A and B are shown apart, each in its own frame.
Chain A
Amino acid sequence: MDRLEAELKQALSRKAPGDGFADRVARAASAEKRVVAFPTPRWAMAAAATVLLGVGGGLAYRQHQGEVAKEQVMQAMRITAVKLSHIQAHVREGRQ
């Protein structure tokens, strides 16, 4: 019986933790916090980035299309104005 008690005492006796135990615990705890803070999976973040890029690209393309349309309108009006100007000058000359 004494031998069994001695073995139990030895097995349950306090042992000093290994070197760096506190650091390992702190690291594990902070890693766990990070997972809780950013639960979004990577594929969702990639999808969001793709959508943002798509929307941004779409807006830039729309802006470009608008600028092209504007330039065409201005050029069309410029040509019309030049022709009208010539015609009006001739009509004016004819009336004098």
Chain B
Amino acid sequence: MKFATFLLLAAGWMSAQPLRLNLDHLASKASDSVDITLNGSTLQFAAKFLDSKDPDEAKVKKLILGIDGIAIRNFEFKKDGEWSAADAESVRTQLKGPDWSRMVGYKSESDGDAEVYIRTVNQKIAGVAILATSPREFTVVHISGTIDLDSLADLTGHFGMPKIKDARKSSKM
């Protein structure tokens, strides 16, 4: 019984940890790469420099209030086959913890594949992960903390992108 409790606690602790994104080997092959890791204190520090009068920055400022950390790995390649299925699986495996659940996903020959996972703790969303791949692109997004999914979805109405009206409904699946 004690061992089972320990395993449950350990599993919960493991799922609360940031994803281990050991994808450095892709950076050397990529023509463009983005590697961003921001913890909570850096995010709150950055929030002081976001302009509330700018619509994009105001939206982001509101969104990052409850976020504990952001990790982004984005690699773009000049030819196909530079990343392997094992790279995607190394991320996917970490999203199979008890708190994580796959919310939505699609496969497309033209646009590649994408999956969205959410982490819930006490019936509240405590993290979001996106794994998006195409033959020449590999992207992992991990946002941890209290996240307002509506606000996150509202980002599509910013950064010059058209807002997708039905998207919010689908993200609540």
Contact = CB atoms under 8 A, between A and B. Distances in A.
Given A73-B43, A79-B141, A81-B161, A88 B38 contact: no
Interface string B33-71: 010101000110111111000001100100110000010
Interface residues of B, number: 42
21 contacts: A66-B49, A69-B46, A70-B50, A73-B43, A74-B57, A75-B72, A76-B38, A77-B60, A77-B63, A79-B34, A80-B72, A84-B156, A85-B161, A85-B167, A87-B104, A87-B130, A90-B108, A90-B111, A90-B114, A92-B170, A95-B170
A86 interface: yes
Contact of B153 (A69, A74, A88, A90): A88
A77 B42 CA distance: 15
B106 A91 contact: yes
B36 A72 contact: yes
Nearest to A74: B60
- Max chain A CB contacts within 10 Å: which of B38, B50, B60? B60
A69 B45 CA distance: 8
The prevalent SS among residues of A at the interface is helix
B156 A81 contact: yes
Contacts of A39: none
Contact count band on A: 20 to 34
Nearest to A88: B167
A82 interface: yes
A84 to B, nearest CB: 6
B4 interface: no
Interface of B: 34, 36, 38, 42-43, 45-50, 56-57, 60, 63-64, 70, 72, 74, 104, 106, 108, 111, 114, 116, 130, 132, 139, 141, 143, 152-153, 155-156, 158-159, 161, 164, 166-167, 170-171
Contacts of A87: 104, 106, 114, 116, 130, 132
Nearest to A94: B106
